[in-house]
Structures are given as structure tokens and as C-alpha cells.
Amino acid sequence: MRSLCSAEKSIAALAPAQAGPAIARSPAGGDRAFCNRVKGGRSRIVLYSHDTMGLGHKRRNCLIAQALNTAGLEVDILLISGMGEASAVPMPAGVDTLTLPALSKTADGQYQARRLNLKLQEVVRLRSQIILAAIKNFRPDVLIVDNVPRGAVRELDAALEYIRRHLPTRCVLGLRDILDSPAAVRHDWHRAENTAAIRRYYDTVWIYGDPAVFDARREYRFPADIVAKVRPLGYLDPRRRSPSTTAHTQIQQLRLPSNCELVLCQVGGGQDGASLAEAFAQATFPTGTLGVLLIGPFMPAEAQQRLYALAQGNPRLRLVDYLAEPTLLLAQASRVVAMGGYNTTCEILAYQTHALVVPRLSPRQEQWIRADRLRRHGLIDLLHPADLTPQALTEWLHRPILASPTRLDLNLNGLENLVVEVQRLMMIAGLPDSRAS
């Protein structure tokens, strides 16, 4: 905990002093280039994600970037990501990436440098300076921050304060449907001073979910002035993603037999998915089915070795290290066994694949809460991690698929609503600031 506090103090020192009133953002008197863009030139959007665990934040921002890029908007989009793999994803014209030195999150939720032999405060200070330099030079019309209002270990503080004082950039906080248990969110947000940051820096808060499943405004007891900024957009539909030629080629190279029913297992990035993967690898598949297990790029090497040893004795199990677009397999599958991350869940809901979700319980309760709410609406089946065994998966795989009479009609229009919101923000980019000073 001492290293975390030290890093936060280091980043706070980068931001301009906040004594006295903040300068209201306006394109007049100092940002003529921005004003020209508002009047008819190409607009600029920055998407930031801290990316400390798994692939979820990066994949969500890539999907958003693609939706904005294909919506007919005249925009240039810069993705600032803590995931080096983001730069390996094919990007269309008008979209590019800036990769930060990587952070990782330990089992107890603490941050550390992923690869560099640097102290936490050193790598966070470096990341913060890179972000600030990008904002100063790119001068975005809209900044969309994923999930963490002040960035990992407050690394966004300097950039947000610079925007507040010098740019008319409209700032958006994008939150997935569920963050954690209400008690944990209130504790974490109070400690990080997130509510104050939203008041000072953010024009609006988007929630990528449906309040019929989980209403964050009510569940997390957001203050009235924060609730006024919140806009639930709906879940982000992954069917809007346009898979690259490389992704289709990867699927073809798997040479999956056409006469088998496909059963899929997804464990996200694989960092904490070994237990589910090993249980699936030891399950007995129904006659005429082929099990395909997506390992994920972050699964520990020793766990991968155990899986390959299991696969050698099972001709009806296929292991796949990594797929650029796993939904190409999900669309073919009759069943899926998966962890309960946001993106995976959206994919299951969009493709309406019969699913058994085995969520992680730590360091956050997010996956469990999401899976439990969706189970109550008859949208998925749920298995507690403590009950995970090869036999439990075998029994589910052999169970008949029955239509649920209580299936909820979900809002999956998050991307369409997001594009409309971006257009609205760009239209008001030159108007006076509405945030607390």
C-alpha cells in the first residue's frame, strides 16, 4: 500500500496547482486549431484504457473505435492502451494506437510493472507523462476514459487537469455495467476521490449496460449531481465488429470438422482461467461434439503444459492459443462454457449461445454479480467456482437445451447510442463548461 500512495503523490505533482478557480475551457484565445476542427474539419477522439488484467478493456475500446470509424464521422481516433497487443490488432485508416509501459494487477488487486524492472511509482509517472504529452499534442475534441476516472494509480490526473485549464475537450467516463459490489465501489471511489474527479473533469458518464439488469445509479448510490451526468447506453453489441482477413484465416486454419457440433470454452486472457480450462479439458463431451478451448495469451506456462498433456489423450478436444476474433467461433457453437467478463458476456448475449458461466470471485465481485443477475432473467446458466469439477461440466453439456419463458429483452444498442452521444458532444464542444469549477 505504501508504494501505491507514493505513486499517487508522484502523479499529483505532475498536475498544475489547483489553488484558485479552474480556468473554464473555451476554444477562444489559444486553441485556434481546435476551433477550426469544430467548424468543419476532422475531429479527434482519444480512447484511454489502463489495461492491467486481461484483454477486456482493450477489446472494448477497439470495438468503440471501429463503431465510430464506420459511422460516417470525420474523425481521427487515438487509442491509448496499456496493452501492447492493441498495436497488433489491424486498425483502419484514421485509427492508431499509443502503447504505454505495461502494468499488471496482482491477485490481491495491487498494481505493479508487468515487464520493466521499475518501482510502481516510476512506471506510473512514466505512463502519466506519456499520456499528458499525447493530449497536449493531439488536442482531442473528445476524451473517452474506460472504467477508472483518474486512470490507474491516478495517472490521468495531470492530463485531466491540463484539459481542464487549457483545452475545450469534452471528457467522458465509460463504465461497464457492473464494477464490483456496492460496498466495495463506495469504498474504492471514496479512497480514490473518484466522485470529486467526475464533478471536476467529466461532462458525462456512459454506462455500457441495461438498467433492467443492474442500475448502477441506484445500486451504487451515486449523488444526485453525478446521476444527472449518467447515461445508460445499453450493452455493446460485438456483432458490429468487422473481423479482419487475418481473423477469418485463423478460423480456416483450425480445420474444424463440419460434421461435429461445436462446444466452446473461453477463459478470457487466461491469466486466472486455468481451473476452468482444466475442468473443461477433462469433461466428457456428448457424442458428435468437438470441444474447442481458447487458452488465452496470459495463461501461465505450467497450466498450458497441463492442458496440452490432457489434450493429447482426447481426440475430441482442440486447444487454441489465441484468436483475434473469438466470436467467429462463438457464432458456430451450440454451447459455451466461459468466465463472466464483460466482453465475453456481451458476446454470449448477442449471439444467444446457450451458456454456462463460471465467474471469478476476486479481486472483484463484478463477474459473479453480473452472472447472477443474468441467471435470474433466464439468460444464462451459472456455476459457482467452488462447485467447478469436470463432472459438473459433463452434466451441463449433456443437459437438454430448454427455452427460458422469462427471457429479458436486453438493450444491445450501446454502440449506436454511443455514436449519437459523441456527435452531441462534438456539437457542443465550443460551448461554455458545465462542470464544477
* C-beta of residue 433 within 8 angstroms of C-beta of residue 24: yes
Task: Please report the DSSP string for 142-185 in residue order.
Answer: EEEEES-TT-GGGTTHHHHHHHHHH---EEEEEEES--S-HHHH
C-alpha distance from residue 324 to each of 59, 146, 334 (Å):
10, 21, 21
- Which residues contact residue 52 at a Cβ distance below 8 angstroms, ignoring those fewer than 6 apart? 82, 103, 104, 105, 111, 152
* C-beta of residue 347 within 8 angstroms of C-beta of residue 327: yes
Q: Return the axis-axis angle of helices 120-138 and 157-166, rounded to nearest 10°.
A: 30
**What pLDDT, on a 0 to 100 scale, did the predictor assign at position 405?**
62
- With a cut of 70, list the residues of the chain below it in pLDDT: 1-40, 52-55, 84-90, 107, 109, 404-407, 429-437
In CATH, the number for domain 2-237+414-427 is 3.40.50.2000
pTM of this structure: 0.87
- Provide the residue type at 300 as one letter: P
Sign of the alpha-carbon dihedral angle for 102, 179, 322, 97 = negative
d(CA 347, CA 359): 15
Q: Report which of 256, 262, 25, 307 is spatially closest to residue 163, judged by C-alpha positions.
A: 25
* C-beta of residue 3 within 8 angstroms of C-beta of residue 120: yes
Task: Please report the DSSP string for 105-129 in residue order.
Answer: E-TTS-EEESSSS--HHHHHHHHHH
**What pLDDT, on a 0 to 100 scale, did the predictor assign at position 363?**
87
Q: Report which of 138, 128, 125, 144 is spatially closest to residue 201, judged by C-alpha positions.
A: 144
CB atoms within 10 A of CB 36: 11
d(CA 130, CA 385): 39
Helices (H), 202-356: 216-219, 224-227, 245-254, 274-281, 301-312, 327-330, 342-351
Class of residue 1 by CB neighbours under 10 A (exposed 0-12, middle 13-18, buried 19+): exposed
Q: In this structure, what DSSP letter does residue 285 have? A: P
Q: What Rg do the C-alpha atoms of the chain give, in angstroms?
A: 22
**What pLDDT, on a 0 to 100 scale, did the predictor assign at position 425?**
93
CB atoms within 10 A of CB 279: 21
Which superfamily does CATH assign the domain made up of 245-397 to? Glycogen Phosphorylase B; (3.40.50.2000)
- What residues does CATH 3.40.50.2000 cover in the chain? 2-237+414-427, 245-397
Sign of the alpha-carbon dihedral angle for 267, 270, 276, 279 = positive
**What pLDDT, on a 0 to 100 scale, did the predictor assign at position 87?**
46
Task: Please report the DSSP string for 81-106 in residue order.
Answer: ES-GGGGGS---TTEEEEEPPPEEE-
d(CA 124, CA 263): 41
CB atoms within 10 A of CB 25: 23
d(CA 164, CA 134): 15
